[in-house]
Structure 1
Amino acid sequence: MTTDTGSVLARPESGPVTGIRGADQVLRFPGIRYGTAERFAQPVRADRHTDTVDATRPGPICPQLPSRLEPVYGPQWNEPPQSEDCLFLAITTPDLAGNRPVMVWVHGGGYVTGGGTLPISDGGRLTVDGDVVVVSINYRLGALGYLVHKGVSDGNLGLYDQILALEWVHDNIAAFGGDPANITVFGQSAGASSAIALLSVPRSRRLIRRVIAQNAPTLATLPTLNEALAAGPYFAEAAGGDLTTLPVQRILDAQARTGQWNADMSPRPGTVPLRPALTDPLADPETNHRTFRSEPMPDLLIGYTSAEGRAFALSAPTPVPEEAVVAMSRRVFIEPAHEIGQQVLDGCGAVFLYEFGWAPMEGGLGAVHGVEMPFLLGTREAWTDSPMLGSTDWATVEAKGRTLRQSWAHFARYGSPSTAEAEWPQWNGDETSVHQINW
């Protein structure tokens, strides 16, 4: 229900919360707690409350260092505070009544940066154009989410956070006008890989009807369990103290030093520690390929941009030749997308595979990793200074993005991104059925 002040009261099973109705008429609940967790411990569901909780302010994001892709995406605007107490989610919905498809957003950032409660993750435009409920989640990052060290942490805590958030959504989203039986998990980059990982865990897979994976990187950059265990003692030495009580800045500093150590010492160049460890049921550590179970496959929408690698070349210490950028894009993003799509096809799931080739007419950085993001999520203010948009005006982003948002929502609702404005072929395993988004 709403009041004259524009506040909104929802009554999920977890307890009543207040949100706000924006000028766009979207109902927003940007600060709902879904869980709690002690440092390096498994997350637990937040206690049910009977008093009304104010959820009108964005929940804090996980502690993190600056993103190496800030020169591509631009600086964060109106960033919430950082805190280890970060297991919050944000909800946007057209109305509290109804039974709409639910789209759960898992943010990217290389497992070390980002947040679901950041303005770039705001789901308002997707909610309006797709008539869907959008949920954006925070989860633990870097060492706090993925350290593997005997006696301290078993690792993959960030993924367990995501599973807990998904369970909260399933049990509570009906109070926000969402259908708990129709949940699509969608994510970008590390968030896309996380969305796929959730399919290999029975606890979360049973809750997921469809998956959208944008710019999902190869699993070859993730450590095996043995590699993660090898990095643990180095991290502990770099931190220099009781890991359960050290100030968070010491944790972040040790995290950065561990990354450099791994770059110098790793027998598999390109792997990165303090990320999800490749352990069953996440993936086969021998082949680094995703291993799905025997249940029927969900529908999958998966894709990449035409110049994925250019975003990472910009942050390299020395110039990267264009042919190396092309090779990296194919090896790390394009070929893995085809491999994952083929696994879903083999499991009799429907697959739609796309290549996003749009780039600004003037300025910008080409069709780089994540360039489709401003067309799907986030506020105008959040993307105003984004270098990858070049001189593109916001009216153009809005007009072109509306088609994309409608396709994403149509897929969540019906299992196909085809709309009256954009016809998509179902992918059959070859290049001719890859949908081209060039506008």
Structure 2
Amino acid sequence: MKFQENTNTHLFKTSFGKILGLKENGIIKAKSIRYAYSERFQLPVAIQSSDSEIIFPEKTPVCPQNISPLLEKMIGKTDLDSFEVEESTQYLSVFRPEHFKENEKLPVVVWIHGGSYELGCGDLITADPTDWVKEQNIIIVSVSYRLGIFGFLGGSENRPANLGLFDMIEALKWIKNYISDFGGDPKNITLFGQSSGGDAIAHLMISDGAEDLFHRVIIHSAPLGLRQNRQKMISEFLKKTENFTAQSDTFEITDNYKNYLPSFYKYGLKAAMPFGTQYGFPPLCAEEEAAGKWKENAKKYDVLIGINDEETAFYLRTSDRINKFLPKKIINKAIRSTTEMIYGKPAKEFAENYAKASGNIYLFRIHSKIHNHHFGSAHAFDLPLIFGNETAWKSAGLVKNVPWKYICENGNKLRSLWTEFALKGKISDHTERPEILELRKV
């Protein structure tokens, strides 16, 4: 189908192909560009450039997954009519300022979404980067990749491990090759991820094949405390699901795998994230080699890493059972200890080890200082600050009783700081900080 550029669209004439973008709210969105393709339980194959014309689909492609009642309560209802379920979900979207100088090369931030390696996609409305792109004059690329059983459970001949990580590497290769055609600087690429997206980025830093594809990383709320000693749980999970083959029905897989999850409670906190990156399988090293690899690469990547002050309030303060039977003092103590165990202490140790290896690294912590804010600075509290978008967040339980003006004022300053880091790999002591932020160079 031939298409013509009009006042509401922009035609990117790239070396990958002609790509139609949509002008909206001062930016141009080129959405759902396929960067690779895969068969079930197979490595991704890069899409080659062609003379074809690429137009964004009506619905957003999303990997098969189960709806999370917790996310619906805390972040927002899922509009199923907006998504198209697809196993080969290797798509990315490019967001660029509409007003653009010829030959300008803008810094590029690549968004790797979270969701415990089993939920979400790159193009959720709550992570629409319009505000950030327009304010800070940068390009943001959001990446979708395979999730759950399709992307992060493997270890046998028929089920390779880390397929979702391989998807991300293919996306980064595409960005490196083609982002200059959108006005981006391929020599200034920063990865930004939250939760499992941040965990994935930490592992991309030590992945074979990811060398020279990015220069800086911003890691929010990575559950690094869950990364070790996972192989026994993964092996059991793999064995329980070995009846899922290339011929199995997609929805049968997503409907049935969750029945096995209660049997993993014996593994403790790790069972909260049954899917994930797997050491000892490509593109990753053995688990005992990971710390050494991060030290080896410390001079390659600038790092900004941190957490929210009450991460696990996202889970513990939403539980009716816990809140009914346990006093508030005990719940707060549990939030403090589990936040430090899963997020805080591992981030601090990562930062200190990286700095000892002469790496350039900053450590941050985000607080909520709103009185009567039930969830406080829980997991994902950073997302409305970074992405803005009041319409998407107005009904989210996570920010109930938080004035949007407060989020907007702190978010503007936070986006400015993070953009400064993406531009220069450092943050000046003189740049204004939001009141919610603790930040230091380690």
TM, length-normalised to structure 2: 0.88
Once the two structures are overlaid, the 10-residue window that deviates more, 277-286 or 135-144, is 277-286
Partner of 2:144: 138
Match runs of 1:16-165 below 5 Å: 16-22=18-24, 24-55=25-56, 57=58, 59-67=60-68, 68-76=70-78, 79-95=82-98, 97=102, 98-165=104-171
Partner of 2:13: 11
* Matched residue SS, 1:152: coil
* Matched residue SS, 2:39: coil
CA distance in 2, matches of 1:409, 1:267: 38
8 Å Cα contact 1:80-1:117 kept in structure 2: no
TM, length-normalised to structure 1: 0.88
8 Å Cα contact 2:233-2:264 kept in structure 1: no
Once the two structures are overlaid, the 10-residue window that deviates more, 30-39 or 284-293, is 284-293
8 Å Cα contact 1:311-1:369 kept in structure 2: yes
CA distance in 1, matches of 2:72, 2:78: 8
CA distance in 1, matches of 2:291, 2:318: 28
8 Å Cα contact 1:73-1:388 kept in structure 2: yes
Q: How much has 1:206 moved relative to structure 2?
A: 1.5
Unaligned runs of 5+ in 1: 430-439
8 Å Cα contact 1:20-1:56 kept in structure 2: no
1:388 aligns with 2:390: no
Q: How much has 1:52 moved relative to structure 2?
A: 1.4
Partner of 1:174: 180
State percent identity of aligned pairs.
25
Partner of 1:276: 277
Deviations 1:311-342 (A, max 9, x none): 12145574162211110001110001111112
CA distance in 1, matches of 2:319, 2:242: 27
Distance 1:56 1:269, change over 3 A: closer
Paired residue for 1:368, among 378, 382, 387? 378
Q: How much has 1:344 moved relative to structure 2?
A: 1.9
Distance 1:210 1:309, change over 3 A: same
8 Å Cα contact 1:94-1:131 kept in structure 2: yes
1:337 aligns with 2:347: yes
Distance 1:221 1:114, change over 3 A: same
1:246 aligns with 2:248: yes
Partner of 2:216: 210
Q: How much has 1:161 moved relative to structure 2?
A: 0.6
Distance 1:11 1:223, change over 3 A: farther
CA distance in 2, matches of 1:196, 1:400: 26
Unaligned runs of 5+ in 2: none
8 Å Cα contact 1:222-1:276 kept in structure 2: no
Q: How much has 1:149 moved relative to structure 2?
A: 4.9
> Aligned letter for 1:164?
E
CA distance in 1, matches of 2:383, 2:55: 29
Deviations 1:119-148 (A, max 9, x none): 122111111121110001001111011121
1:323 aligns with 2:333: yes
* Matched residue SS, 1:233: helix
8 Å Cα contact 2:61-2:86 kept in structure 1: yes
1:356 aligns with 2:357: no
CA distance in 1, matches of 2:6, 2:15: 25
* Matched residue SS, 2:142: strand
CA distance in 2, matches of 1:420, 1:226: 47
1:310 aligns with 2:346: no
Q: How much has 1:245 moved relative to structure 2?
A: 1.6
Q: CA RMSD in A?
A: 2.6
Q: How much has 1:220 moved relative to structure 2?
A: 2.8
> Aligned letter for 1:62?
C
8 Å Cα contact 1:107-1:188 kept in structure 2: yes
CA distance in 1, matches of 2:43, 2:133: 32
CA distance in 2, matches of 1:141, 1:414: 33
Q: How much has 1:421 moved relative to structure 2?
A: 2.6
Paired residue for 1:196, among 199, 202, 225? 202
Once the two structures are overlaid, the 10-residue window that deviates more, 228-237 or 9-18, is 228-237
8 Å Cα contact 2:310-2:376 kept in structure 1: yes
CA distance in 2, matches of 1:138, 1:274: 16
Q: How much has 1:251 moved relative to structure 2?
A: 1.0
CA distance in 1, matches of 2:6, 2:73: 43
Q: How much has 1:376 moved relative to structure 2?
A: 1.1
8 Å Cα contact 2:364-2:439 kept in structure 1: no
CA distance in 2, matches of 1:174, 1:220: 37
Distance 1:269 1:369, change over 3 A: closer
Deviations 1:252-299 (A, max 9, x none): 1232123222224x4886464332212266465359857426242311
